[in-house]
Amino acid sequence: MHGVVFPGPGNVEHTSVATKVRQAVWDYRAFLMIVVLPTLLASIYYGLIASNQYESSADFVVRRAESASNAPDYGQILGFSIGSSAAVPDAYVVQQYLLSHDAVGQLRARNDLVGVFRRPGVDWLSRLKYANPAPEKLLSFYRRQISVEQDATSGITHLQVHTFRPADSLAIATNLLKMGEAQVNEINQRTYDDQMKDAKRQVDGLSAQLNDVEARLTAFRKFHDDIDPEGTGRAQISLVNQLTANLVAARAKLRTMDGVVSPNSPQYVAMARQLHALEAQVGQQSAKIAASSGSVASRLGDYEKLVIKREQIAKSYAVAAAQYEQTQADSKRKRLYLVHVVNPNMPVKSEFPKRFASILTVFVALLFAYAIGWLLWAGVKEHSL
Residue 57: predicted pLDDT: 95
E-assigned strand segments in the chain = 54-64, 146-150, 156-163, 336-342
Q: What's the distance, Cα to Cα, between the start and end of the chain in Å?
A: 54
Residue 82: predicted pLDDT: 44
Q: Which of 264, 343, 305 is nearest to 57 (CA)?
A: 343
Sheet of strand 156-163: strand arrangement: 146-150, 156-163, 54-64, 336-342
Q: Name residue 57's beta-bridge partners.
A: 160
Residue 2: predicted pLDDT: 43
- Collapsed DSSP state (helix, strand, coil) of residue 375: helix
Backbone angles phi, psi at 346, to 5 degrees: -90, 110
| Domain edges within the chain | 54-196+340-355, 198-331
Residue 171: predicted pLDDT: 96
54-196+340-355: CATH topology is Bacterial polysaccharide co-polymerase-like (3.30.1890)
Residue 8: predicted pLDDT: 46
* H or E stretch covering 258: none
Rg (CA), the chain: 49
Contact 168, 346 (CB under 8 A): no
- Collapsed DSSP state (helix, strand, coil) of residue 162: strand
Residue 87: predicted pLDDT: 61
Residue 85: predicted pLDDT: 53
Asked, as a colleague might, if the bond just before 353 is cis with ω within 30 of 0, I would say: yes
Please tell me the total number of residues recorded for the chain in this structure: 385
Contact 164, 118 (CB under 8 A): no
Q: Name residue 64's beta-bridge partners.
A: 336
Residue 194: other Cβ atoms inside 10 A? 11
54-64 and 156-163 strand pairing: antiparallel
Residue 165: predicted pLDDT: 95
Residue 228: predicted pLDDT: 65
Record the pTM.
0.65
Backbone angles phi, psi at 345, to 5 degrees: -105, 155
CA distance 54 to 352: 7
The per-residue pLDDT string of the chain (385 residues; one tens digit each, 9 = 90 and over) reads: 344 343 444 444 455 777 877 887 887 888 889 999 999 999 999 889 999 999 999 999 998 876 444 444 444 443 444 444 556 777 889 999 999 999 999 999 999 999 999 999 999 999 999 899 999 999 999 999 999 999 888 889 999 999 999 999 999 999 999 999 999 999 888 888 888 888 889 889 988 998 998 888 888 777 766 666 666 666 666 766 777 777 777 777 777 777 677 777 777 777 777 777 777 776 666 665 555 555 565 666 777 788 888 889 899 989 888 888 888 888 777 788 899 999 999 999 888 888 899 899 999 999 999 999 888 888 887 776 5
87 CB contacts (<8 Å, ≥6 apart)?
Answer: 62, 63, 64, 155, 336
Residue 234: predicted pLDDT: 66
